Amino acid sequence: MRTAVESHRWMAVTGAVLAALSTPCAAQENVLLGRAVTVDDPHHRVGTDGGWCCGQLAEASTVTDGQFLPIGQQWNIDTVFWHSLKPWLVQLRVELDDVPMCITSVTLQGDNNDTYRIRGRTAAGHWYPLANMRPVNGIGGMGVKMKVFAEPSAPVYAIGVAAIAGDSYYSVSELQATGIPLGDEGCVP
């Protein structure tokens, strides 16, 4: 539990991070911006809220629209949300097929009391973990987390996000990534 002062400090830090992310800089471009989002949901869990009030399911495309929700917004309002005891069966997937990337950072806005795994898909079609992220904040609802990698990832042809642990109520509102396009010489900064 955080005090109100600590929560305000946290929000100030988050605001600074978001401002930095929006600063024009080629090396920091969000390579997922505006890309199509596919929802892999074989058990039809997306849109189920387990009895929470007032759910408003967002279009999957909002996950790559570059817009963050207010910190602390209710988990199931204007988000892609699902209730499941097997959360990993839901994955949001963004294809990069035309421009494979070596990923240098990922940013996730999701429900603050869960752990989400960001994965990349190789040319051979295998998914491997890029980062586990818990978008924790002190006030509940939606939070933001960014992870910067010490070294660029191997080339990935798609990026996915799925919940791997939490309270069975999951939601994502924004997924961003920076990366270096794969060229003939590999990924050259």
| CB of residue 172 to Ca ion, shortest distance in Å | 11
- 167 near Ca ion, judged by CB under 5 A: yes
- The number of angstroms, rounded, from the C-alpha of 158 to the middle of its chain's C-alpha atoms is 13
Q: Which residues, in sequence order, are CB contacts of 127 under 8 Å at separation 6+? A: 119, 120, 121, 160
In the set 169, 176, 177, 187, which binds Ca ion (CB under 5 A)?
Answer: 169
Residue 140 lies near Ca ion (rule: CB under 5 A)? no
Kindly write out the interface string for residues 73-112 of this chain, putting x where it contacts Ca ion by CB under 5 A and - elsewhere. --------------------------------------x-
49 near Ca ion (CB under 5 A): no
Q: Does 113 bind Ca ion (CB under 5 A)?
A: yes
User: What residues are paired with 158 via a beta bridge?
Assistant: 95, 121
Widest distance between CA atoms in the chain: 52
Q: Which stretch, 18-26, 117-125, 129-137, 167-175, contacts Ca ion (CB under 5 A)?
A: 167-175
The least distance separating Ca ion from the CB of residue 65, rounded to whole angstroms, comes to 22
Q: Where are the beta strands (DSSP E) in the chain?
A: 37-40, 56-57, 77-83, 91-95, 101-111, 115-121, 127-133, 142-148, 155-156, 158-165, 169-183, 186-187
Report the residue number, 49 or 106, with the smaller CB distance to Ca ion: 49
The answer to the question of residue 114 lying near Ca ion (CB under 5 A) is yes
Position 119, amino acid: R
Q: Which residues lie near Ca ion (CB under 5 A)?
A: 111, 113-114, 166-167, 169
